[in-house]
Structure 1
Amino acid sequence: MRLEQFKQFLALAEFRHFRQAAEHCNLSTSALTRSIQTLEQELNCELVTRSTRSVSITQSGELFLTYCANALEQFNHFKTQLSDFTNDNASKIVVGVTENTAEITPFVCKKFMEKFPDIEIEIQQQDRSSLSNKLADSELDITIDSTMQIPNNFAITEHLVYLPDQIILFANKNHALSSETTIDKETLTPFSVLGCLSKNLQVQKMLQETAASMQKLTTMKVGTFEQITGYLKDAKHLALAGIEYTNEIENNPELIIIKPEKQSRGIDLSISVASNKTTHPDILNLLRYIGEETQS
């Protein structure tokens, strides 16, 4: 699927006419028809019902319409953030640490830079008073402290799959991960992840965010609950759904809900951010990453 196809489907839903929608998208009618047919083939469902004069949207099409609108909204939000990032020209983050966090911070920051290679992190170790003064003068972007001495051999668990309370992960009962409670992103690599369309816009948005956190959003196929459960019969796929489908899954003898548990790491960190960097996307990404790596 491509974002252009999402825009084309939105146009078709607005005009309910292939020729008018095609003109709006600067396409030929045949090109738009092929694009919609490709979407239907990929989703394995009928999105529109065609007649000689007009087009009507099917129930599956209405669900997909919601997904398209949310996806485009998120993409536009991303472009805005990307623009802010580009215009700020701040690809370097200066981090101040105390002796208590001098062992753990470089390790986390190194992993962060591997994930975001365009961002450089400089680490300065000083006492609390000096760090506070430098932060106030904006000589530091953030400071990291802890009331406890973190041991040198403290092990940070790799990224584990985390599910919001409104989202469930399920699979065929014979799936290799059906009995796992600790699942990291690398474990998910061989398996395709599917998404069940939800009538709740917030849940649909959370499904996309969860797939993104699993690094599966670009490859995830979405469809109705019946379509997704059909794919699960080969025990090679995993699926995400809103909790509204819990009973249907639990009552299906062929399916099982997988409940990943996030391990507690128990590090109590005190993090402060310079007043002029509280909304900077790089800083927010780093704070989120530190939280994922060190907190339960």
Structure 2
Amino acid sequence: MEIRHFRYFIAVAEELHFARAAERLGIAPSTLTVQIQEIERTLQARLLQRSKRSVRLTSAGELFLEQARASLLQFEQALGVGRRAGRGELGRIMIGYVGSAALAGVLQQHMRLFRSDWPMVQLQASEQSMGRLPELVAEGQVDVGFVRLPMTLPTGLSSHILQRNRFCVALPASHRLAGAQAVDARQLAGDDFVVPEQDLGTREVGRRGGFAPRITAIPGNLLAVLTEVSLWMGVAIVPDVVVPSVVLPDVVYKPLAGAAITSDLAAIFRRNEGAPAVKNLIRQLVSAAPDALAGA
């Protein structure tokens, strides 16, 4: 039995007249009669009591009508869900991010914008280690990642820069340079360094200062890094998005002297993404122009 049989039977049951039901369905009365007979043979039950003057439902027909209506409604709802999912109006997107994407507001900005356009799509976001995120996206465990470039991406992934930030230096409040207007890289030659997941800023400070940074800890996310600084474990070169966002006891932030050392916040995603909802988010991300240098 097919879904069309439910429609045929419901029309006859509501019209209680084969000719009117056939006209409503756009088929010939003889075809409708054959279809109803097929239903009754399949069910091995008489659903309609017919006479020359009238058509009425049997008790089996009344019960079957109730279930046929419910089945047809469920079928139509399933079609609607499938069509909406095919347009990307429904679905679930797994988002992974590094902490600085949230501190910069980039993550919140794009999730808020996407929700306003696609309110029925479920967004799930979780902080991940930056070194693991590309692999998670490539494996399909995460759909879109918010990371800091540069990084090596697996084959099949693309990136789009969303915001460009400067690096600054986080110092213990009692540090000898805590009162300086700006810190020259050479002034940090004798310091211990606490290094975030992206060590680009630390390496560049060492290059400019002509020294190899003495690394004492690589604790992971930015909050952990800055906590180490507050405990006087060393200095840290961090994106300046932390300056207004992370206030910790005994930590001060200072700009680095000279040309800006920059870091790019970017979205990474699968180049040949097939899920409609994820494709809608990717389209939103790649249409966004990168923000200018924070603090510039």
The answer to whether TM tops 0.5 is no
Larger strand proportion of the pair: 2
TM-score with structure 1 setting the length: 0.34
Larger helix proportion of the pair: 1
TM-score with structure 2 setting the length: 0.34
Which has the higher Rg, Structure 1 or Structure 2? Answer: 2
